[in-house]
Amino acid sequence: MQQIVLVGFMGAGKTTIGHELATILQLPLIDTDQLIEERVNQTIPEIFEQYGESYFRELEAQVLASLNDQEGIISTGGGIVLQEATRQQLKNFQHVVYLTVPFKELVTRIKNDSQNLRPLFLNHTQQDFQKIYESRASLYEAVSTIEIENTGKMVETIANEIIDRVGV
């Protein structure tokens, strides 16, 4: 069974690279945020607004736990590492790839992505947002088996780098 879990901060390219990996490896792409939205029939911003972040994190942990035996490329939300329970769950997966991107590049990507409104970005100053980014870096490192820099490379190049590193 082949599993590759993608983790990293919002805007790191988890979904984009996940699509490319799924295509190349002919595996399903499983997006944890999409599964959460389907489960409660609301968007992530609506869930945050109506129920708050802690409720969202509970849903996130439930969805991740349900994927333990699922083959595929799993794209996670940027905050998947915030709870100890989900960090422990991530350690059960075959390959966990941390996509790293410098902070300034992430801000540019997020600002230019009008398709994805990101509550965490919209509700914080850039300085506070940078503190959140910095506080999560060590958590991503702790759960990952591989780190890949996602700056200035074609999506296909990064996907092939991941494939080479996981030995598929």
DSSP run (H or E) holding 85: helix 84-90
To the question of whether residue 111 is assigned a binding role by annotation, the answer is: no
Residue 14 annotated as part of some ligand binding site: yes
15 is in an annotated binding site: yes
Residue 18 in marked binding region: no
The whole-angstrom separation of Cα 145 and Cα 95 is 6
Q: Is 167 a known ligand-binding residue?
A: no
78 is in an annotated binding site: yes
39 annotated among ligand-binding-site residues: no
Dump the DSSP string for 62-83: HHHHHTTT--EEEE--TTTTSS
Which is nearest to 68 in space by CA: 41, 81, 86? 86
User: Does 33 belong to an annotated binding site?
Assistant: yes
Whole-angstrom distance, CA of residue 153 vs CA of residue 168? 21
Residue 12 annotated as binding site:
yes
Strand 95-100 to strand 72-75: parallel, antiparallel, or no bridges (unpaired)?
A: unpaired
8 Å CB contact between 65 and 57? no
Which residues belong to the annotated binding site for Mg(2+)? 15
Which residues belong to the annotated binding site for ATP? 11-16, 118
Which residues belong to the annotated binding site? 11-16, 33, 57, 78, 118, 136
Which residues belong to the annotated binding site for substrate? 33, 57, 78, 136
